[in-house]
Amino acid sequence: MKRFFHWTLIVLLSSGLLACTGTPLLANMATRSVTVPADRLQQALAQRFPIKQRVADVLELEVLPPRLSLLPASNRLATDIDLNVVDRLMGGRYSGSFSFDFGLRFEPSDNTIRMTAARVNSISLAGVPEPYQTAITKNAPKLAERLFDNRVLHQFSDKDLSLVNGLGLEPGEISVTPDGLKVTLVPRPLSRNP
């Protein structure tokens, strides 16, 4: 999941701060915010998929490109992900989907973007025998929510934030709008100046 957002968040603060709004950052300083358009977020995500991974030499997991949705009324993002699973022990092949939503926050103590209040909406795997499907449906959402809540999506290096820090600012509130993500830039406390 960390890779899932790595390039999206690089877009958010590097190209986003410099070019997403179509105006240079300094010309936009009066508002002290930058909007990263939804189509740019989706493009950044799509470039990083599909992801294939083995889980404990038992399962082969293929995660297909996610579909990102903006939920401005609740200030959250939603993600629908299709996946394919191969059970290497029993030879079963399953396809399914996973849907969850979450908020975002910037953690200035370690320059990270973190998920907040992750909530699983659905998990399903077609063709899985009924007893296993029930177990997946009952237990997987709780486990996934614990896994995703407060999860670090990206940690910015000093280089990533050098322009913003040089202006005495840092990312603040991240708001979901109908058009994309709005990142408010706030004054950087003196105790954290580089």
Its domain, for residue 131, covers 2-187
Higher pLDDT, 29 or 115: 115
The residue ranking higher by pLDDT, 41 or 100, is 100
Please report whether residue 36 resides in a domain. Answer: yes
pLDDT band at 69 (very low <50, low <70, confident <90, very high): very high
Query: What percent of the chain lies above the pLDDT cut of 90?
Result: 11
Q: How far is the C-alpha of 126 from the C-alpha of 37, rounded, in Å?
A: 34
Q: How many helices (H) and strands (E) does the chain have?
A: 4, 10
193 belongs to a structural domain = no
Q: Where does the pLDDT of residue 77 fall: very low under 50, low under 70, confident under 90, or very high at 90 and above?
A: very high
170: nearest Cα among 181, 193, 186: 186
**What tokens appear for 118 in the block?**
């992750």
87: in domain: yes
Task: Kindly state whether residue 45 falls inside one of the protein's structural domains.
Answer: yes
In a domain, 192, yes or no: no
Q: Which residues of 112-124 are buried (b: 16+ CB within 10 A; e: fewer)?
A: bbbbeebbbeebe
pLDDT higher than 60, residue 159: yes
User: What global pTM score does this model have?
Assistant: 0.68
Looking at residue 64, its pLDDT comes to 87
Residues in the chain: 194
CATH number of the domain within which 11 lies: 3.15.10.40
pLDDT on residue 16: 38
